Amino acid sequence: MGRPPRTDLAQSSVTFLRRFSGNSPLRPSRASALRRVAAVLLLAAAVALPCAVLYRAAVDATAPVYIPRARRPLLQWDPPPPPPVEVSAEDGDADPFPTDDLDSEDLRLELVLQEASMDNKTVILTTLNAAWASPGSVIDLFIDSFHRGVGTSSLLRHLVIVAFDWKAYKRCVKIHPYCFALTTEDVDFSEEKRFQTTGYLEMMWKRLDFLRLVLEKGYSFVFSDADIMWFRNPFPFFYSEGDFQIACDHYVGNAMDLRNVANGGFNYVKSNDQSIEFYKFWYSSRFRYPGYHDQDVFNFIKHDPYTADIGLTIKFLSTSYFGGICEPSRDLNKVCTMHANCCIGLQSKIHDLRIMMEDWRNYMSMPPSLKSFGALSWRVPQNCSLSLLSP
Ligand SMILES: *[C@@H]1O[C@H](CO)[C@@H](O)[C@H](O)[C@H]1NC(C)=O
Ligand SMILES: *[C@@H]1O[C@H](CO)[C@@H](O)[C@H](O)[C@H]1NC(C)=O
């Protein structure tokens, strides 16, 4: 996607001035006339451009108009990009966040998607911040689940880990071939984000905006939070005709029923006009429901007539296959994924994810007869709380 013309007027008049000042080959009177014209042009630009900025800001603050960040023109008087995240002495590597160059970010994204993609332009995406990146933490459990799941280890070849900060990026490149550093301008996404805090909201919305970009690049994706264990390949369990398929905190028994309570942590989205329009609408709805996160807003706008107008086919995924702590996938012979949703606090989450992994390993080591007998059930939740809250 090309960047729209920048401050063309100002830029061309600057060039114009430069070209005709100093040792001008033109006769003095001609040169000074041109200089006057250039000065007028510059003045016009100086007046017009801030107006455009003000207009943009006003639109941003009040109306639900969607202006993609990456496509905002870089104005000359934009503040300089923030300094790179602090790097300790042992970290000598190059800065993966060239914040001043959106085109290079775009190119990096294009390349990593291409490399990780399946033949049919489908990728698996997860996001990572420093809090979830340390050894033995969430990301290790996530990767480990692919190795221990049924038919899941080959899917790692299609997984792109999207790092929100430098620490997460550094950790990613140590453990996985496909990492993408997402530039995050002025917000620090590196600490543990407790559910419903401002930082948490920012991170969730940034993620949604990023997923829209992936769709626009023509890639379909399975997005999975890293606190979801993959025990079976989910692709055979998706609906062939759904544009947007999403896991649930609470499943009412029918994939089309809008009363299903969706969980934004796991979804399968096909790239097409409907899904792209829907992601734009979803993001813009943020301004109609300030203070809510993307998952809440989804659960509001799923009823919006505009969602039906878009023509997006929504399918809710059954918790029998795509379960979590809110509503476990009871049968270990069926489970695809288990999410540490309905869980507050990183330590509780890690504790219960480890129990889940142990349960799975015990299940996998059982003889087939015992497996099909359903002799084993989950020992979670233990430390996770069961209230219908799902970070
Ligand atoms: C893309 O390929 C995967 C792996 O072969 C398959 O499971 C999935 O259904 C395909 N998706 C589409 C939309 O054809
Ligand atoms: C989990 O809960 C147990 C029992 O309440 C407690 O002793 C333990 O410290 C908790 N562990 C974590 C990691 O929160």
Question: The domain that contains 283 carries what CATH number?
Answer: 3.90.550
**Does some domain include residue 335?**
no
Q: Is ligand 2 within 6 A of the CB of residue 320?
A: no
Q: Is ligand 1 within 6 A of the CB of residue 235?
A: yes
Residue 45 has which token pair? 């630009």
pLDDT at position 194: 59
Please name which of 33, 35, 31, 30 lies closest in space to residue 17, comparing C-alpha atoms. Answer: 35
- Give every residue of the chain whose pLDDT is below 70, as ranges: 1-102, 184-198, 386-391
Residue with tokens 């097409």: 272
Count of other CB atoms within 10 angstroms of residue 116:
22
Ligand 2 atom 1: residue of nearest CA: 383
**Does some domain include residue 226?**
yes
Please name which of 258, 266, 236, 259 lies closest in space to residue 313, comparing C-alpha atoms. Answer: 258
When divided into structural domains, the chain yields a total of 1
**Does some domain include residue 8?**
no
CA–chain centroid gap for 275, Å, is: 15
User: In what side-by-side order are the strands of the sheet with 337-339?
Assistant: 228-230, 337-339, 322-324
Contacts of 87 (CB under 8 A, 6+ apart): 93, 95, 166
- In degrees rounded to 5, what are phi and psi of residue 314? -100, 135
pLDDT at position 33: 53
Tell me which of 351, 352, 355 to substitute to probe ligand 2's pocket, judged by most ligand atoms within 8 Å of the beta carbon. Answer: 351
**Does some domain include residue 385?**
no
Q: Which residues of 59-90 are buried (b: 16+ CB within 10 A; e: fewer)?
A: eeeeeeebeeebeebeeeeeeeeeeebeeeee
Contacts of 28 (CB under 8 A, 6+ apart): none
**Does some domain include residue 290?**
yes
Please name which of 319, 223, 207 lies closest in space to residue 271, comparing C-alpha atoms. Answer: 223
Cα angle 204, 210, 216; round to 5:
145
pLDDT at position 21: 35
pLDDT at position 334: 97
Rg (CA), the chain: 25
**Does some domain include residue 389?**
no
Q: Name the β-bridge partners of 315.
A: 245
Q: Is ligand 1 within 6 A of the CB of residue 117?
A: no
Q: How far is CA 297 from CA 38, 74, 282, in A?
A: 49, 30, 7
Ligand 1 atom 9: residue of nearest CA: 235
Count of other CB atoms within 10 angstroms of residue 292:
17
DSSP β-ladder status, 122-128 and 159-163? parallel
- Asked if residue 70 lies in contact with residue 102, where contact means CB atoms within 8 angstroms, the answer is yes
Cα of 221 vs centre of ligand 1, distance in Å, is: 10
**Does some domain include residue 26?**
no
Please name which of 311, 383, 306 lies closest in space to residue 352, comparing C-alpha atoms. Answer: 383
Of the listed ligands, the closest to the CA of 240 is: 1
- Cα–Cα distance for residue pair 357/267, rounded to 1 Å: 22
- Cα–Cα distance for residue pair 153/149, rounded to 1 Å: 7
Residue 235 CA, closest ligand 1 atom number: 7
**Does some domain include residue 74?**
no
pLDDT at position 32: 53
pLDDT at position 105: 87
Please measure the distance between the N-terminal and C-terminal CA atoms of the chain and give it in whole angstroms: 33
pLDDT at position 202: 84
Count of other CB atoms within 10 angstroms of residue 29:
8
CA torsion sign for 142, 146, 149, 152 is: positive
Cα of 383 vs centre of ligand 2, distance in Å, is: 6
Instruction: Say what the pTM is.
Output: 0.74
Residue 281: CA atoms inside 13 Å, Cβ hemisphere, count?
Answer: 20
- Asked if residue 246 lies in contact with residue 258, where contact means CB atoms within 8 angstroms, the answer is no
Range of the domain at 216: 96-310
Contacts of 191 (CB under 8 A, 6+ apart): 129, 130, 131, 199
pLDDT digits (tens, 9 = 90+) for 145-158: 999 999 999 999 99
Residue 142 has which token pair? 């996530």
Q: Name the β-bridge partners of 125.
A: 160, 223
pLDDT at position 101: 60
- In degrees rounded to 5, what are phi and psi of residue 163? -90, 130
